[in-house]
Structure 1
């Protein structure tokens, strides 16, 4: 297949996303008022608690088996690498642009967390439907592609709410503590940031024996383990397990359970399955996720048209990380893994792994900034630029990735 045909194939799903996103933005205009802030909130709740879990569970249950589990082990590693490398590059952007403290958590989050669920759930099925797709039969491509995208969404949610959530939380708390610093110091109180508190907790876990009152080694060990348990308990409390175990993650657990437990799979999956109506009903619910997500995304991006004092260099830095450096590193990592025999030779699977490095930031970062009140307007401005350029970047990278795996 020629590169021009691949470019056309890659551009169609991106154009589909842009058109539906445009409809969402239009409906969110104040004079129209259909997709108002309140309406968007309620629709987002339906998507979050109903549509997404149903979509994830049904697609994983169809594609995940004991055999496929052995083949998909590299995807969690790949997603973790996108977060780790993105965080390192985000830290470099902060150092180079000398970004203000209130934006540091936002920058790290935008560089680390890509939209690993929503866009893949839209792009992969659209590419599978194109006649020039290099991924073979449409039905097979659609089923397995949605399975890969659903797993990617679940992994992205886990890392997003465990890593980025706490980065933004700690960053916002450090800002609050710095704002109180002068007042507290004037009263003679010591100031401890989140990092200082954690370090002090770790150091306090190490007992220092008193030379004048020796204690037995067993007592020291008991004291050490007691302190370690206290530190681990403190860290676990700081992680919002309710967010970590999001409905989409629960959908993953259900999907894995159905796919891996043979009696349940036979009862639910297949034309002759006695309880197939449950799977079909869940599939019907899941089909509402993609259009709803795209409309919500269009409404949210409209907020980025507000004025903001964010530096153009910061926006350029995030664009460079997400659309140039990360995809190039992704090619090296994925192709290196293929060369070493770590990844099975399915072109669609390799394409999804590569695409995970070239996506715009996760939309839930905006939710986090609203939750902690740190850089809400700046987040919208970054999003409007990143998602506007996604039409070009995703098309070019998708075409190149398809060419490289075909």
Structure 2
């Protein structure tokens, strides 16, 4: 299998995404205004509350079972590694570029969170169907790829809203109120200063000291829980993932809803019908949002190209080391498609939900558009080249002879 065959197999899915994205940009131009700003916000709400949850739940319910979820246990760990390594690289970039405070959450978020759902749901089935693909029978490959992409989408959504949302929330709060302080004043603990001094006196009883410390720790946890919005974890996509997991892994429920003879299969079919619309609509919205990036913003080129370097140079290199190490230790079964998905998770453009989160807090929207413009514009080259290289690695070192 030659390099050009692999390159062609990898480039076609990315080009499909690019074509739909360009169409979205065209529809968003002022002279056309079919996909203008107000329209994009309304459609984005439909995607967020309806289409994405239906997509996640229907795909998970159809493809995830207790048996295969056990075999894919390393994928959530792999996604967590992409977030950790991306965050560390994002912090290094901030030390070098010194961005304003309100953009720090955006920078770390775009470095940490990749497009782990929609991109994979487009790329993987298309790669399976391309001639020259190293992943065997196209139909079997396509079914497995949807299971992998669905699990990736579900786990990525949970991490996204648990980590990036709260990260942006903290930095956005600091930019709006520079007087906020994480350190709790003594008066907020409900303990008088003189009582605290008396209780911390060396001659005081040990039990009194413990009670004071426990009270302070309790107040710290209360303040942290107020800052950390755990309700955001249960975004509609996360709820859809939970529903999909339950249907797919609980055998009696699965028999009721999944399969051609299932009595309640119409519910699953309806959810699939609605969810399938998410992929092209999200690509159109991406294109419309990218148009805003053409008008520029105050973000520096150092930050933009730093994020590009993190997403398309350093993260994929770390990904090769991580996945190769997991294979060597026997943590990952040597299924070529599964290994390809784990590698590709390190080489994707930033998650589009970064833009949604910035819109929610009203900070860094134009800067986010510029970042998305460059990262998605370069995706047609970078993701294709990395996909080709990953398939070459897999064909040489993973695929049985």
2:108 is the counterpart of 1:146: no
CA distance in 1, matches of 2:275, 2:176: 41
Given candidates 294, 299, 303, the residue that maps to 1:305 is: 294
How big is the shift at 1:387? 0.8
Q: Confirm or deny: 8 A CA contact 1:6 1:132 kept in the other structure.
A: yes
Query: CA separation in 1, counterparts of 2:371 and 2:119?
Result: 17
Task: Find out whether 1:250 has 2:239 as its counterpart.
Answer: yes
Displacement of 1:63 after TM fit? 2.3
Superposed CA RMSD: 2.3
Paired residue for 1:295? 284
Task: Describe the shift of the 1:200–1:347 C-alpha distance in structure 2 as closer, same or farther (beyond 3 A).
Answer: farther
Unaligned runs of 5+ in 1: 179-190
What is the Cα deviation at residue 321 of structure 1? 0.7
Per-residue Cα deviation, 1:229-257 (whole angstroms, up to 9, x for no partner): 44333323322333211111111111111
Q: Check conservation: 1:201, 1:231, Cα contact below 8 A.
A: no
TM-score of the two chains, using structure 1 as the length reference: 0.89
- Could you tell me how far apart the structure 2 residues matched to 1:198 and 1:378 are? 35
- After superposition, give the CA deviation of every residue in 1:260-319 in whole Å (9 maximum; x if it has no partner): 111111111122222222211211111111111111111111110112232211111111
Could you say what secondary structure the match of 2:177 adopts? helix
The within-5 A match list for 1:141-220 is 141-178=141-178, 191-193=179-181, 195-197=182-184, 209-211=199-201, 214-215=204-205, 217=207
Q: Measure how far apart 1:222 and its partner are.
A: 5.2
Match of 1:34, SS state, is coil
Matched position secondary structure for 1:342: coil
**1:74-93 → structure 2 map (5 Å cutoff):** 74-93=74-93
Distance 1:136 1:80 in 2: 29
**Is the Cα–Cα contact under 8 Å of residues 170 and 227 in structure 2 kept in the other structure?**
no
Equivalent residue, structure 2, for 1:325? 314
1:342 to 326, 331, 334: 331
Count, aligned residues: 389
Is the CA contact (8 Å cut-off) linking 1:128 and 1:141 kept in structure 2?
Answer: yes
Give the TM-score normalised by the residue count of structure 2. Answer: 0.90
Task: Give 1:185's aligned residue.
Answer: none
Any conservation in 1 of the 2:110–2:350 contact (CA below 8 Å)? yes
Alpha-carbon displacement from aligned partner over 1:159-182 (angstroms, at most 9, x marks no partner)? 11221122222222222334xxxx
Native 8 Å contact 1:259 1:265 kept in 2:
yes
Whole-angstrom CA distance in 1 between matches of 2:187 and 2:242 = 37
Q: Deviations over 1:40-92 (max 9, x none)?
A: 12221222222211221122122222221221111111111111111111111
Q: Secondary structure at the match of 1:133?
A: coil
Cα distance in 1 for partners of 2:73, 2:323 equals 13
Match in the other structure for 2:111: 111
1-structure distance, mates of 2:92, 2:325:
25
What is the rounded CA distance, in whole Å, between the counterparts of 1:212 and 1:103 in structure 2?
Answer: 46
Equivalent residue number for residue 51 of structure 2: 51
| Matches of 2:284 and 2:89, distance apart in 1 | 31
CA contact (8 A) 1:84 1:112 kept: yes
Judged with a 3 Å threshold, the aligned counterparts in structure 2 of structure 1 residues 227 and 341 are, in CA distance, closer, same or farther, namely: same
- Counterpart CA distance in 1 for 2:8 and 2:393 is 16
Q: 1:61 to 1:312 in 2, by over 3 A?
A: same
Give distance in 1, aligned partners of 2:123 and 2:354.
Answer: 21
Cα distance, 1:17 vs. partner? 0.5
Give the Å deviation of 1:397.
0.5
- 1:215: Cα distance to partner? 4.2
Partners of 2:240 and 2:180 in 1: CA distance: 40
1:367 — aligned with what? 356
Partner Cα separation in structure 2 for residue 166 and residue 386 of structure 1: 23
Q: Name the CA distance, whole Å, in 2 between partners of 1:322 and 1:158.
A: 20
Offset at residue 227 of structure 1 (A): 4.2
User: Match for residue 37 of structure 1?
Assistant: 37
Structure 2 residue ranges without an equivalent (≥5)? 396-401
State the Cα distance separating 1:107 from its structure 2 match.
Answer: 1.4
Per the alignment, in what secondary structure is the counterpart of residue 41 of structure 1? helix
Distance in 1 of aligned mates of 2:306 and 2:59: 36
In structure 2, C-alpha distance between the alignment counterparts of 1:232 and 1:241, rounded to whole Å: 13
Shift of 1:224: 4.5
Alignment of 1:273-284 (within 5 A): 273-284=262-273
Tell which deviates more after alignment, 233-242 or 155-164. 233-242
Match of residue 267 from structure 1:
256
Taking a change above 3 Å as real, the CA distance of residues 22 and 198 of structure 1, as seen in their structure-2 partners, is farther
Whether contact under 8 Å (1:59, 1:143) holds in the other structure is no
What is the DSSP-based 3-state SS (H/G/I as helix, E as strand, rest coil) of the residue aligned with 1:273?
coil
